[in-house]
């Protein structure tokens, strides 16, 4: 059975408008996920929702148990994941409140549990990660944005940093030289782990501040929260339009009782 999950990031610890049928605490070989999996309906579509930072939002990006999150989703039958990520804008088009559908990633994180392929191996596995996001899901998100007349940036390189501190101006300059357009702390290892599990994964990013050194303003939580609040309405609109029109073959009703 195909199932669709939304992983909500900063500003999206609970999905307003979701009709909740069930929620379930999961235990995985990698520990506990960030929060209970919520099974419900959103925009007429059965979905699973997971709050990446917990609900309430208390888990910082470097302490998210990404392996448990992805494992819990997979073992509950999820096959498609739409991740929502808050990011800083590096290149000129990536202004606050812009929505970006990234197509590439550079991973600057360190010491995170970033693979399922390391224990009790009989063979060594290297997954293809040339194109880190699902082309099909990206296409559907971009089409839904166009249909809803939401102005999105339809490509961009996501630079994943360790956090929780923000970057220095020199770090952002280096990331720009590397070709990063946006910077965030949660894009990896999430996308890589999804690929290792064979999950179809794409990200919708909301720019919530100019990255370090890209504006004269100090980056404060008030600035971030202001842009988050303003931009999240657009994200909700986009998710609604996307789910209303989504046709992924075999995307059936979610049955939480069938899960582990
Ligand atoms: N840097 C890293 N992660 C972020 C930022 C940023 O400027 N804004 C939101 N998430």
Q: 63-118, pLDDT tens digit by residue?
A: 999 999 999 999 999 999 999 999 999 999 999 999 999 999 999 999 999 999 99
CATH number at residue 30: 3.40.50.1580
For the CA of 161, the closest atom of ligand 1 is 2
Indicate whether 73 belongs to any domain: yes
pLDDT class of 151 with cuts at 50, 70, 90 = very high
Residue 35, pLDDT above cutoff 60: yes
CB neighbours (10 Å) of residue 233?
10
More confident residue, 246 or 250: 246
Nearest CA to ligand 1 atom 9: 87
The answer to the question of residue 259 being in a domain is no
pLDDT of the residue at 18 = 82
Give the chain's mean pLDDT: 91
Q: Flag whether 195 is in a domain.
A: yes
Reported as a pLDDT band with limits 50, 70 and 90, residue 253 is very low
Residue 208 Cα to ligand 1 midpoint, Å, equals: 8
The residue among 124, 97, 107 whose CA lies nearest residue 208 is 97
Res 248: pLDDT = 61
The pLDDT assigned to 149 comes to 95
In a domain, 221, yes or no: yes
**Tally of domains within the chain:** 1
Residue in 209, 213, 226 to alter for ligand 1 test, most ligand atoms within 8 A of Cβ: 209
The answer to the question of residue 122 being in a domain is no
Whether 251 has a pLDDT exceeding 70, the answer reads no
Residue-range definition of the domain harbouring residue 36 = 4-116+127-250
Instruction: Evaluate if residue 257 carries a pLDDT over 70.
Output: no
- Does the pLDDT at position 219 exceed 90? yes
Please give all residues whose beta carbon lies within 6 A of any atom in ligand 1, as ranges. Answer: 86-88, 161, 166-167, 183-185, 208-209, 211
**Cα of 175 to ligand 1 centre, how many Å?**
13
The rounded distance, in Å, linking the Cα atoms of 80 and 199 is: 6
Q: How confident is the model at residue 200 (pLDDT cuts 50, 70, 90)?
A: very high
- What's the pLDDT at 181? 98
When pLDDT is averaged across residues 33-45 and rounded to a whole number, the result is 93
- For residue 58, is it within any domain? yes
Query: What number is the average pLDDT over the span 228-248?
Result: 90
pLDDT for 125 equals 85
Q: Provide the pLDDT for residue 143.
A: 95
Ligand 1 centre distance from Cα of residue 180 (Å):
13
The predicted structure's pLDDT at residue 201: 98
Evaluate whether residue 258 is within a structural domain.
no
- Domain assignment present for 90: yes
Between the CA of 212 and the centroid of ligand 1 the distance, in Å, is 9
Which residue CA neighbors atom 3 of ligand 1 most closely?
184
Render pLDDT for 124-143 as a digit per residue (tens, 0 to 9).
Answer: 889 999 999 999 999 999 99
Please give the pLDDT value at position 250: 45
Whether the pLDDT of residue 218 is over 70: the answer is yes
pLDDT at residue 173 above 90?
yes
């Amino acid at each position: 059975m195909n199932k669709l999950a939304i992983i909500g990031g900063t500003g999206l610890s609970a999905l307003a408008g979701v009709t909740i049928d069930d929620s379930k605490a999961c235990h995985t070989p990698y520990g506990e996920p960030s929060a209970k999996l919520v099974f419900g309906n959103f925009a007429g579509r059965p979905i699973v929702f997971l709050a990446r930072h917990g609900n309430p939002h208390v888990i910082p990006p470097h302490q998210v148990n990404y392996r448990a999150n992805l494992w819990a989703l997979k073992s509950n039958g999820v096959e498609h994941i739409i991740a929502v990520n808050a990011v800083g804008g590096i290149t000129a088009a990536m202004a606050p409140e812009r929505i970006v559908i990234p197509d590439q990633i550079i991973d600057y994180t360190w010491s995170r549990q970033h693979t399922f392929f390391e224990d009790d191996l009989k063979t060594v596995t290297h997954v293809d990660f040339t194109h880190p996001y699902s082309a099909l899901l990206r296409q559907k998100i971009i089409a839904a944005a166009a249909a809803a007349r939401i102005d999105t940036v339809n490509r961009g390189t996501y630079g994943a940093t360790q956090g929780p501190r923000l970057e220095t101006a020199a770090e952002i300059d280096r990331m720009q030289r590397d070709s990063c357009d946006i910077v965030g702390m949660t894009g990896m290892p999430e996308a890589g782990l999804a690929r290792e599990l064979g999950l179809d994964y794409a990200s919708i990013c909301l720019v919530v501040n100019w990255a370090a050194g890209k504006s004269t303003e100090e980056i404060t939580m008030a600035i971030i929260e202001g842009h988050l609040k303003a931009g999240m309405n657009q994200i909700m609109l986009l998710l609604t339009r996307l789910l209303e029109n989504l046709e992924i073959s075999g995307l059936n009703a979610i049955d939480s009782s069938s899960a582990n």
